[in-house]
A and B are shown apart, each in its own frame.
Chain A
Amino acid sequence: MRHVISLLLENESGALSRVSGLFSARGYNIESLTVAATEDPSLSRMTIVSIGSDDIIEQITKQLNKLVEVVKVVDLSEAGHIERELMLVKLRATGKDREELKRLADIFRGRIVDVTDSTYVVEMTGDPAKLDAFVEAVDSALILETVRTGVAGIGRGDRILKV
């Protein structure tokens, strides 16, 4: 099962490596990991996407909680939540492809943020499946490079992760 784990941790050097070290040392899987400081600069917020059985996810959350710098851990996928990821895609855009790619980007509510006579850079946000779908929809020969941030997640409504 795919889980989205969100945590607040002390914004200190080394905290990220404690988390990533934990995953590699115990053989847990990381699909993606994003981290940045929060509105309170002493805290970082991290979103980890991991795939594992319920037992493993339970161990992951317990082990994360055990890290001294981790303040709070929540498995967002236990209830309603929103996931968003940012992707930048550089596409070869020449001839009739230019119009087609523009139309496709519009359909996916992407924005073209850089244009040359032969390339576009498309910026797109959404849940990971939507980004996958866009990549699928574009002729693979036209994709020059892609870069994705990994998922950032937040709970819906009253689910608040705060100190």
Chain B
Amino acid sequence: MAISGAEIVVKCLQEEKVDYLFGYPGGAVLYIYDELFKQDKVRHVLVRHEQAAVHAADAYSRSTERVGCALVTSGPGLTNAVTGIATAYMDSIPMVIISGQVPTAAIGLDAFQEVDTVGITRPCVKHNFLVKDVKDIAPTIKKAFYLARTGRPGPVLVDIPKDVTAARCEFEYPATVEMRSYNPVVKGHQGQIKKAVQLLLEAKRPMVYAGGGVILSDAADKLQKFVQMLGVPVTNTLMGLGGYPATDKLSLGMPGMHGTYESNMAMQYSDVLVAIGARFDDRVIGNPTHFGSVPRKIIHIDIDPSSISKRVKVDVPIVGNVPDVLDEMIRQLEATTERPDADALEAWWKQIEEWRRRDCMKFKNSDEIIKPQFVVQKLWEVTKGDAFVTSDVGQHQMWAAQYYKFDKPRRWINSGGLGTMGVGLPYAMGVQLAHPGSPVAVVTGEASIQMNIQELSTCQQYRLPIKICNLNNRYLGMVRQWQEFFHGNRYSQSYMDSLPDFAKLAEAYGHVGLRVDKPGDVEDAIREAFKRKNDLVFLDFQVDPTENVYPMVQGGKGLTEMILSSEDL
């Protein structure tokens, strides 16, 4: 029986077991919305801005191992979604975005709400399609989900003109996908893995540097086993937090621009560095020439060959899926009695302990004014380190990454690559829907939260009991920090004037709002918020406006050239 293209779209989503579809209706997707109306397997979440739909779908994916899904209309619906798509692309998040397009006959005629969707999104998707024939809808959506989740994951967009959703044909969802031009490598090269294991066994100062690839490929258990077999130090990048338990003694915390002293020192002075699902980002290794100025062997495991030897030359490249490669490395380690030289490893740990004693994360707490770090510490204590935490972008993001110790993967949800302000609240929506009943907190700032504040309305509609911790310092804090360090304290446009009363604003949306001014009230406020299991609680913490994020490696500087506190300035 022939059915409409719109019905085919919805049936495809059902076949892919999409339970939540985040979106916003409009002219070009009306037929699809009509079909959504007639069923209840795919639940649609109506956001207040398309950007939030894509962010929410993105976080749904980040906090599970599933493909997030969003639906937007043509023209402005799509352009609003672009920030969300680019955010997901930079962090390799598997997503399928379906966009409506003007009718086929109107394409290219500057029709109402027409944009060149495939052209606009091309540089920020893994792949995109324009479907011109109703018969192609099902195979294309099948391919889209397959492309999104395999290889190096990423967002895939399917653009469907309105007339194609109205046209009719038989529906058959393909069981498999064959693409001669797309064959991602899974297993690593045996010889290379052998070489890597040998190098590790001979290492005197080995170090594991694990990135977001460990989280995305669900390899945290394997990483833990691998690291513990060898007893070597491990650092997790911003995207990799939770890939190895932060509270374990082998963990050195986060590396990079705002990483720990011990992690950056160990990255620099290790003699064998194993990079796993990480990409030697400029925020992680600082100046690449400085990083390359000391001799060390680098083993790099990554599913994407183009990530290897892109910024840093590596000695043993291993292209493959992280869990498969780690499995093989573990197998080879189990097959041998050889272990790294115990004396050398002990000396290496002694050195690391010395670096640790610098206690680079200490901060001067105060009885008078709330320190932002203190709020995150308390959030960690109250939630026993077991909440899902999303963040926006800026100082609060770094404090959340530094002071909330993530022991499990997929608990820390942030925009690492693109650094998109405004993700925090829509991310929390996606996470809360994926994990009903679990504690979900947003660590944000008064600037970021205002970039998608309208989503408080969505949270009310779907009764999402998110806890918002607004570290309100009345500044674009990270901008202000850079202006303090590099621009002679000229705080050009970084002061946040005319702020709303956030507590009242939250109340206006039907939520609970609470302003917290004193350090002594922080813990009680957080406890109170999490006690209110059915309410979204907006905690507006008035924090020290002058606080800076330390340690800091300034842009262009070497990884070991860290500023540890204001005394180093």
Q: CB within 8 Å of B: which residues of A?
A: 9-10, 14, 17-18, 21, 25, 55, 58-59, 62-63, 65-66, 68-71, 163
Contact = CB atoms under 8 A, between A and B. Distances in A.
A71 B306 contact: no
Interface string B168-183: 0000000000011110
Interface in B297-319: 304-306, 309-310
Nearest to B184: A66
B118 interface: yes
B123 A21 contact: yes
Contacts, number: 34
Interface residues of B, number: 17
Contact of B179 (A9, A14, A68, A163): A68
Given A18-B122, A21-B123, A59-B310, A66 B181 contact: no
A82 to B, nearest CB: 26
12 contacts: A14-B130, A17-B122, A21-B122, A62-B305, A65-B305, A65-B306, A68-B126, A68-B127, A68-B147, A68-B181, A70-B181, A163-B180
Nearest to B125: A68
A65 B101 CA distance: 29
Interface string B355-374: 00000000000000000000
A71 B309 CA distance: 22
A14 B306 contact: no
Contacts of A21: 122-123
Contacts of A68: 126-127, 147, 179, 181-182
Contacts of B130: 14
Nearest to A163: B180
Given A9-B181, A14-B122, 17 more contacts: A10-B181, A17-B122, A18-B122, A21-B122, A21-B123, A25-B123, A58-B309, A59-B310, A62-B305, A63-B306, A65-B305, A66-B306, A68-B147, A68-B179, A68-B181, A68-B182, A71-B180
B306 A59 contact: yes
B180 A66 contact: no
A14 B181 contact: no
B252 to A, nearest CB: 30
Interface in B83-121: 118-119
Interface string B151-187: 0000000000000000000000000000111100000
Nearest to A55: B309
A163 B126 CA distance: 23
Nearest to B118: A14
Interface in B115-145: 118-119, 122-123, 126-127, 130
Nearest to B147: A68
A94 to B, nearest CB: 46
Nearest to B183: A71
